[in-house]
Amino acid sequence: FTCTATIDPAFVIAAVPPRLFGSFVEHMGRCVYGGIYEPDHAEADVNGIRLDVVKLTKELGITTVRYPGGNFVSGYRWQDGVGPLEERPVSLDLAWRSIEPNTFGLNEFMAWARQCEIEPMMAVNLGTRGVEEACNLLEYSNFPGGTQYSDLRIKHGVTEPHNIKLWCLGNEMDAPWQIGHKTGREYGRLAAETGKAMRRIDPSIELVACGSSSERMPTFGSWEADVLDEAFDVVDFISLHAYFEHHRDDRAGFLASAHTMDQFIEGVIATCDHIAAKKRSRRKLKLSFDEWNLWYENRLVVQDHLDWAHGPRLIEDEYTVEDAVVLGSLLMSLLRHSDRVTAACLAQLVNVIAPIRTEPDTDAWRQTIFYPFALTARHARGDVLRIEPVSPNLHSETGGDVPAVDVTATHNADTGEITVFAVNRDEHQSGDLRLRLAGAIAQEVVEHTVLGGADFLATNSKQTPNRVSPRSSTSHRIDGDLLCIDLPPVSWSMIRTA
């Protein structure tokens, strides 16, 4: 089948926001302990940081990392994780029924983030704690010195302030499973008052209010409206969280996930703009999609049923080729909303539903989903362009009618480079994508990379860490102002022209 679209560098949505390529490190399962931090591992440095994970984290190209949770943060006492190791308590993490040794905390995380050249995105506990504790943490982190908490940081050996700019006001406070769960009004008031006080300490910070923990929550829409009624003037972002999965026998619905993500984002934008209109504000609130990914295993883990353990193996999903194709299309959804979604975090980074996997007795390896993320983060540069593909539709029970081909492109005005990202959702037929390059005649294709097209269920594992990787393709041609690209069934493609 054929799909056509026009690429015109004049049709700009927005500049690619660097923070779109964020990730997430939670004290959950083996993300921190046995993931980024494992003092006994052969690759660990003197601080216990796994250098093989640092290397892959850099290769992945992530720009920001949200920390320390997730559900974990809603019961966390940050003070337990700073200061001399021998004085740190062992505590109970009620979110994941885990034993938390507190040998990795704020200062270790900040050192790791610097090592990886990543901007931190810090979450405060608004579950069991509140305004005062959030202020104390900010004072410890960002105040230069001469006060109780800034001097405590200096006493802990960190003389320069961390200067953390991006702060999440709690996590998923709409969710009944959250410790300290609240109504939208209750949370909105707390978020507004916490944010107001935090800004008095450091007016340069940016604040993220919790949106819904999923579009499927019964309170979705009204939660955002209630929270923003209270906190609109204080916060810079509202958050979105979404996890997708391939339900049995519904490949078409799964491949349509990016369409569902588009609709979710547009619903939240509508709610933000509704509140702005009510408040006679012209401000376009930004969206932080600070948890997104695919999630299968133990999706319905009920925290109450876990056995107490330190660093248990939780939701270590192994991803397929098809998952990588869907993940590539989810990134395309984020890109085409980059005028409003200016921060996002792939949840999570290591082991826990993650692009990077580790074991104690071998080097870290890349899951299939690593590749579309890394390639998009590296090559989506300059401006995101508005594209309206004309493609036949595919139908599924869960996804409805969705175009068989999804296309997004970026244009780097400095280099003239255009990067096209395309997904073929059809599982039986190749697509013939014909792009008309208006006002920017491509001289040549400098890279054409494909993932998928066959062996949809192949994975990388400890035994076969390199079974799946992207391949180079020559199935394209430039014909006048037309760039024609062959899109194999169930595939993600990236084409760079110069």
Residue 27 tokens, joined = 């004290």
Give least dist CB 29 to ligand AHR, A.
9
Residues 100-159 that bind ligand AHR (CB under 6 A): none
Cα–Cα distances in angstroms (integers) from residue 110 to residues 133, 161, 224, 228, 354, in the given order:
19, 11, 31, 31, 20
Give least dist CB 172 to ligand AHR, A.
5
Which DSSP category does 250 fall into?
Answer: -
Pick between residue 26 and residue 108 the one whose CB is nearest to ligand AHR: 26
The answer to whether residue 239 forms part of the interface with ligand AHR (CB under 6 A) is no
**351 contacts 366 by C-beta, under 8 angstroms:** no
Task: Give the H/E segment covering residue 101.
Answer: none
Task: Compute the distance between CA of residue 171 and CA of residue 232 in angstroms, rounded to an integer.
Answer: 17
Query: Which one is catalytic: 172, 215, 316, 322?
Result: 172
Task: Compute the distance between CA of residue 310 and CA of residue 350 in angstroms, rounded to an integer.
Answer: 16
Give least dist CB 18 to ligand AHR, A.
22
Query: Which one is catalytic: 139, 291, 316, 322?
Result: 291
The answer to whether residue 291 forms part of the interface with ligand AHR (CB under 6 A) is yes
> Which strands sit side by side in the sheet containing 405-411, from one edge to the other?
12-15, 383-385, 405-411, 418-424, 491-497, 445-452, 471-472
Pick between residue 34 and residue 69 the one whose CB is nearest to ligand AHR: 69
Report residue 121: phi and psi, to 5°.
Answer: -130, 105
**49 contacts 112 by C-beta, under 8 angstroms:** yes
Give least dist CB 27 to ligand AHR, A.
9
The answer to whether residue 171 forms part of the interface with ligand AHR (CB under 6 A) is yes
Residue 206 tokens, joined = 């940016």
Task: Compute the distance between CA of residue 288 and CA of residue 347 in angstroms, rounded to an integer.
Answer: 13
Span interacting with ligand AHR, options 64-72, 179-187, 269-277, 336-344, rule CB under 6 A: 64-72
Pick between residue 257 and residue 348 the one whose CB is nearest to ligand AHR: 348
Nearest in space to 238 (alpha carbons), one of 181, 173, 183, 318: 173
**258 contacts 326 by C-beta, under 8 angstroms:** yes
Residues 335-374 that bind ligand AHR (CB under 6 A): 347-348
Residue 401 tokens, joined = 């009618």
Q: Which residue, judged by CB position, is nearest to ligand AHR in the bound state? A: 70
Residue 452 tokens, joined = 């998928």
The answer to whether residue 74 forms part of the interface with ligand AHR (CB under 6 A) is no
- Among 23, 63, 71, 333, the residue binding ligand AHR under the rule CB under 6 A is 71
Residues 19-58 that bind ligand AHR (CB under 6 A): 26, 28
Span interacting with ligand AHR, options 36-44, 67-75, 246-254, 259-267, rule CB under 6 A: 67-75
Give least dist CB 472 to ligand AHR, A.
34
- Among 17, 29, 70, 470, the residue binding ligand AHR under the rule CB under 6 A is 70
Give least dist CB 213 to ligand AHR, A.
6
The answer to whether residue 329 forms part of the interface with ligand AHR (CB under 6 A) is no
Q: Report which residue type is found at 302.
A: V
Task: Compute the distance between CA of residue 232 and CA of residue 192 in angstroms, rounded to an integer.
Answer: 8
The answer to whether residue 213 forms part of the interface with ligand AHR (CB under 6 A) is yes
100 is catalytic: no
Give least dist CB 441 to ligand AHR, A.
45
- Among 69, 81, 195, 372, the residue binding ligand AHR under the rule CB under 6 A is 69
172 is catalytic: yes
- Bridge partners of 491, per DSSP, are 424, 452
The answer to whether residue 312 forms part of the interface with ligand AHR (CB under 6 A) is no
Sorted by sequence, the CB contacts under 8 Å of residue 305 that are 6+ apart come out as none
In the block, which residue shows the tokens 């190209």? Answer: 61
Size of the site for ligand AHR (CB under 6 A): 11
Footprint of ligand AHR (CB under 6 A): 26, 28, 69-71, 171-172, 213, 291, 347-348
Active site (catalytic) residues: 172, 291
